[in-house]
């Protein structure tokens, strides 16, 4: 059973940066596709970024050029570097893991989820 723990959320002013971390345990991390999702108040959970075990990242359009997903397989940790933050980036951010190939933005492709970390961007 894979367990995921996010950290790094907080309150930041617009234009600022945060780095989220997702520490994984209990599975073959290096073989998992890792994804980041977010959920704003009153809205559905949406895809933010993903990184397969082999590389080749994908991002939702609204974060391209501002967010960077990465992973350190030696540390069993995935990261989401968020720069030039905007108030609309506010929400709960979740990391997720899938042992299989992931295509597209659907969260249903992921088997394991963290508890989330809150990001608040003030204007």
Distance separating alpha carbons of residues 26 and 23, to the nearest angstrom = 11
Q: CA angle at residue 3 from 88 to 101, to 5 degrees?
A: 75
The pLDDT of residue 101:
85
Residues 99-121 pLDDT 10s? 988 999 999 999 999 999 999 99
pLDDT band for position 1 (50/70/90)?
confident
Distance separating alpha carbons of residues 63 and 119, to the nearest angstrom = 14
pLDDT band for position 122 (50/70/90)?
very high
Average pLDDT, the chain: 96
Residues 42-81 pLDDT 10s? 999 999 999 998 878 999 999 999 999 999 999 999 999 9
The pLDDT of residue 51:
96
The pLDDT of residue 60:
98
């Amino acid at each position: 059973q894979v367990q995921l723990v996010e950290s790094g959320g907080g309150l930041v002013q617009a234009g600022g940066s945060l780095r989220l971390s997702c520490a994984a345990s209990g599975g073959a991390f290096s073989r998992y596709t890792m994804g980041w999702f977010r959920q704003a108040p009153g809205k559905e959970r949406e895809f933010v970024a993903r990184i397969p075990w082999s590389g080749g990242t994908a991002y939702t359009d609204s974060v391209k050029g501002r967010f960077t997903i990465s992973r350190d397989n030696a540390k069993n940790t995935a990261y989401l570097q968020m720069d030039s933050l905007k108030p609309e980036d506010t929400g709960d951010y979740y990391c997720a893991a899938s042992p299989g190939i992931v295509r597209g933005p659907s969260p249903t492709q992921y088997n394991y989820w963290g508890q989330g970390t809150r990001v608040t961007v003030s204007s």
